Amino acid sequence: MYFIVVKFQTKPEWTDRWLDLVADFTSATRQEPGNLWFEWSRSVDDPAEFVLVEAFTDDGAGPHVNSAHFKKATAELGQALTATPRIVSRQVEGSGWDEMGEITVA
């Protein structure tokens, strides 16, 4: 699977509207056959920073970046950002989340 984490630093006037701005993109991506998850979080240290954690099947990442909604999002999101997003993108073994070995809840 492809495991991707992206950090987005928003302009002050867009911070409270960020999730609205990415709502259609998020919905469309979650409906892609190769999408495993597409989840937004907000930094607890910096409220203007949003973190996207996403994963795709091995065959799903290519269609995602070539989709109309991806192209639309990449064209529109820059208006709300203070810097180029930072990304970690890796192909890893597995097909989903595993349980953490260090903490077990019975």
The ranges assigned to domains in the chain are 2-91
Q: The tokens of 12 are what?
A: 């002050």
Q: What are the residues facing 56 on neighbouring strands?
A: 2, 35
Q: What is the pLDDT of residues 32-53, one digit of tens each?
A: 999 999 999 999 999 999 999 9
- Residue 30 sits at the vertex; the CA angle it makes with 28 and 32, to the nearest 5 degrees, is 75
CB 67 within 8 A of CB 42: no
Spatial separation of the C-alpha atoms in residues 48 and 18, rounded to whole Å? 9
Instruction: Determine the 3-state secondary structure of 26 from DSSP.
Output: helix
- H helices of the chain, in order, are 12-15, 18-21, 23-30, 61-65, 68-76
Q: What is the pTM of this model?
A: 0.94
Mean pLDDT across the chain: 97
Beta carbons of 52 and 5 less than 8 angstroms apart:
yes
Q: For the domain with range 2-91, which CATH number is right: 1.10.274.10, 3.10.180.10, 3.30.230.10, 3.30.70.100?
A: 3.30.70.100
Tokens in use for 8? 């987005």
Q: Model confidence over 13-37: pLDDT tens digits?
A: 999 999 999 999 999 999 999 999 9
